[in-house]
């Protein structure tokens, strides 16, 4: 069972990815603003609380997958899961919402996106652990990209 703190940090990371999307994506879409300006919230068509809740609902999934993947490794790992996976997933969900006129992605798409980001992150793990890591990823989504299916 994931701690409340871990889930809260994952939810915050997802929202940080959303805010980074607004600041750094090619869309250059402000988070909010004047009524005549197109913003993320105007594309979303609901309030900020609802948008943050849309992303935060995936925090338990993120934490669960993270715990299962880290359990496979014997040692530490180079890289920062929070930045490279959690915030990147927040960015990806936000990009989906923007490119689909405010419609949120379905859970299967989010899960596949998370598994892909996690797989690319853990691809740098020691070679002997990769089959076990891949097995965890495949339990979450059978739709792994080809680069994650090879040894």
- pLDDT at position 1 is 65
Q: Which domain holds residue 145?
A: 4-149
Ordered DSSP codes for the chain: ---HHHHHHHHHHHHHHHHHHHHHSTT---SS--TTS--HHHHHTS-HHHHHHHHHTTHHHHHHHHHHHHHH-SS--SS-HIIIIIIHHHHHHHHHHHHTTTPPPPHHHHHHHHHHHHHHHHTTS-GGGHHHHHHHHHHH-S---HHHH--
- pLDDT at position 8 is 96
How many domains are contained in the chain?
A: 1
Average pLDDT of each block of 10 consecutive residues along the chain (151 residues)?
89 97 92 87 96 98 94 76 96 98 97 96 88 94 84 61
């Amino acid at each position: 069972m994931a701690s409340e703190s871990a889930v809260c940090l994952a939810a915050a990371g997802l929202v940080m990815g959303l805010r980074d999307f607004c600041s750094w994506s090619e869309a250059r879409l402000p988070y909010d603003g004047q009524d005549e300006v197109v913003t993320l919230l105007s594309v979303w068509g609901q309030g900020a609380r609802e948008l943050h809740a849309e992303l935060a609902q995936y925090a338990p999934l993120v934490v669960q997958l993270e715990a299962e993947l880290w359990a496979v490794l014997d040692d530490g790992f180079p890289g920062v899961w929070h930045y490279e996976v959690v915030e990147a997933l927040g960015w990806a969900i936000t990009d989906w919402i923007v490119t689909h006129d405010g419609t949120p992605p379905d859970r299967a798409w989010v899960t596949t996106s998370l598994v892909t980001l996690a797989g690319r992150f853990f691809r740098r793990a020691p070679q002997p652990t990769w089959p076990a890591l891949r097995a965890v990823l495949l339990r979450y989504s059978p739709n792994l990209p080809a680069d994650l299916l090879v040894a």
